Amino acid sequence: MVNIGTHVSSSKSIDLVFDRGLEVGANSIQFFVSSPRSWKWKERTDKEKEQFFIKKEKYSIFPTVVHASYLFNLASADEDLRKKSINGVINELKLCEELKIEYYVIHAGKAKGQNEEKAIENVLRSMEEIFSKIHLRNTVFLVETLAGQKGEIGKTTEEIYKLIKAFETENIGVCLDTCHLYSAGYKINTEKGFYNYKKELSDIIGLDKVKVIHCNDSKTPFNSHKDRHEHIGKGSIGLEGFRLFLNDEDFSKLPFILETPKEKNWDEVNMKTLRSLIGVNVPVAQSG
């Protein structure tokens, strides 16, 4: 069975992520452990943690994935911001380790006025400091593929490789995002484009490093370098891109996690759409 899940809210109490995942029929879940738009760190109570473990054991929802705060910028030329980002990541990773979260996904950062080589150097320095402060045993640190908007680092396979190759002895890997890949110039919604990308990924990074797939259609056209998520089949990627991923002999073994707009019952609709593509061996019509 292909594992299809979604991003859920961790508001009020962190253990409620399992209830919210169960409510929409998710096989796996992703959530924030702190506000994605606030620097304030919220300590979780012992009761929350205890309930989290009880529900993690009780519910058939696996794996659990935490997404890093959107405020973090490990590439920043501003040393204060970069230091705050490093400390924020360390706080989140410590909690992930304690809760035995399987995966932690992060946007590496944005160049913001620097050249990209300098920005990549800053990310590497930041990651070196993070891994010097915390040794990951339970959680795998995943660098996400990005669309390349506003100087984002991680928009190409080569950039992702540069970010992870120095840390091969660490618990590290890659999270693919379908919207970001398409917006960055990878035409994953055609057989030729999909298999070309898969080969590039295999040759440069290795498919074994890919652990999670963010499953999002795109509001913007191919190669737009914009990060705008859309419901499955309602954007410019169309259903064919998702059919290719879901039926691939390698990618189909990974968790597919929705980050589509949170509107009405669209999580259920999107998961149903994805599941309807499993086992479909003929191309499906594009929707945009």
Confidence at residue 284, expressed as pLDDT on a 0 to 100 scale: 85
Confidence at residue 288, expressed as pLDDT on a 0 to 100 scale: 43
Contact, 126 vs 166, CB < 8 A? no
Place of tokens 């990627």: 237
Mean pLDDT (whole number) for 39-50: 94
Neighbours of 242 (CB within 10 A): 27
Q: Which domains does the chain have, with CATH numbers?
A: 4-276 (3.20.20.150)
Neighbours of 243 (CB within 10 A): 22
Provide the 3-class DSSP secondary structure of residue 73: coil
Count of residues in the chain = 288
Provide the 3-class DSSP secondary structure of residue 104: strand
Nearest CA-CA partner of 260 in 182, 194, 189, 179: 179
Confidence at residue 285, expressed as pLDDT on a 0 to 100 scale: 67
Mean pLDDT (whole number) for 104-113: 96
pLDDT, one tens digit per residue, over 17-27 is 999 999 999 99
Q: What average pLDDT does the chain have?
A: 96
Percentage of residues of the chain with pLDDT beyond 70: 99
Mean pLDDT (whole number) for 249-270: 97
Distance between CA atoms of 52 and 235, rounded to whole angstroms?
35
Place of tokens 């618990």: 171
Structure tokens at 190: 């055609």
Provide the 3-class DSSP secondary structure of residue 110: strand
Strands 64-67 and 103-106: parallel
Cα torsion angle, 282, 214, 136, 27, sign: negative
Contact, 203 vs 219, CB < 8 A? no
Provide the 3-class DSSP secondary structure of residue 31: strand
Mean pLDDT (whole number) for 80-109: 98
Confidence at residue 286, expressed as pLDDT on a 0 to 100 scale: 58
Q: How far apart are the first and last CA of the chain?
A: 28
